[in-house]
Chain A
Amino acid sequence: MLDSLAIFTFPLLLLGGSAIAAQSAINGALSLKTDLVTTAWLANVIAAIVLFFLVIFFEPPQTETMFTVPIWQLSGALFGCFSMAAIVVAVPKIGTAATIVAIITGQIVMGLLVDHFGWFGNPQILLGGKRLAAVGLLAAALYFIYLSNTRKIKS
């Protein structure tokens, strides 16, 4: 399925993914110099500032705002806060690779659950062998990274 466009875009995608890894590492390091709360606070502040300008310049006028929707629709932010806290706490303890792989595993597991039960109005896709096997592989990958992190250094 590789066409010329994909080959051109791929380095761009690698860069985008690298940005995520870099952000996790940087925030983990910052939490060691400050604490979790300050780090997460700053990350949200910076992101909010950038998005504020993006909204002002690029978002077309809307009929609804965050203040007119039912409150449950804003609950995503709380999950986001939890996720950010987990990453910031984990990176200094288990390293960036372990954190990234664990996050990806969690995302895929949840994706499987959402599809299987058809939550959020998604079409019901029952758990299939392929995706279950993928989760199994990811769990195995996590185990190997755990082994790597905990191996005794030979002197």
Chain B
Amino acid sequence: MKQLAMLIFVVMGGMALALEAAILGPLGERIGKLSASLSIFLIGILVFSIAMVIQRRSYILKLAKLPPWLLSGGLVGFAYTIVLVVATPLVGVGATMVGILCGQITASLAIDHFGILGTKKRKVDSYRIIALGLILAALGLIY
């Protein structure tokens, strides 16, 4: 049941992500696309800094002692932003989204399967293959 609750929670996270994108668009028109993105992360720093103060605990000092790959989460995501900016004018929004979604899904299945990047090993089984098929069908319907 905890799995189910978590899934629903993440679906809500996805909805929030879409809302963010919808609000970000007009903001980018007004203050510039890069500035708009920067404002998002500046506010994010504010929010989580406040959270650190409220919970009176922070692991910032521990960060320096961890292996560097664990700290690269923010950077890896930039490959995405750059690809988006480069590819959309070339092949259009629809094809770009399909390509990126395919990349997300296959990579996440592989990450789970091999248990890399610190995740628990979850091998590809028939359930996941069915899920993949359903997703591809859904993508086909949308695009």
A residues whose Cβ falls under 8 Å from a Cβ of B? 1, 5-6, 9-10, 12-30, 32-35, 37-48, 50-52, 54-55, 58-60, 62, 64-66, 68-69, 73-87, 89-111, 114, 119-122, 130-131, 133-135, 137-138, 140-142, 144-151
Contacts and interface: CB of A to CB of B under 8 A. Distances in A.
Contacts of A15: 79, 83, 103
Contact of B103 (A17, A60, A79, A120): A17
Contact of B79 (A16, A25, A91): A16
B35 A59 contact: yes
B38 A45 contact: no
Interface of B is mostly: helix
A23 to B, nearest CB: 4
Given A38-B62, A96-B107, A148-B131, 8 more contacts: A1-B95, A20-B100, A38-B59, A47-B44, A74-B43, A75-B23, A80-B40, A87-B10
A73 B107 contact: no
A25 B134 contact: no
B135 A101 contact: yes
A149 B103 contact: no
A77 B40 contact: yes
A137 B17 contact: no
Interface in B95-125: 95-96, 98-109, 111-112, 116-120, 122, 125
A104 B5 CA distance: 17
A140 B34 contact: no
B45 A120 contact: no
A68 B59 CA distance: 34
A47 B111 CA distance: 23
A65 B31 CA distance: 5
Given A29-B119, A39-B73, A76-B24, A104 B41 contact: no
B87 A16 contact: yes
Contacts of A96: 107-108, 111-112, 117, 119
Contact of A106 (B11, B26, B90): B11
B99 to A, nearest CB: 3
B58 A38 contact: yes
Given A26-B76, A30-B71, A40-B44, A82 B7 contact: no
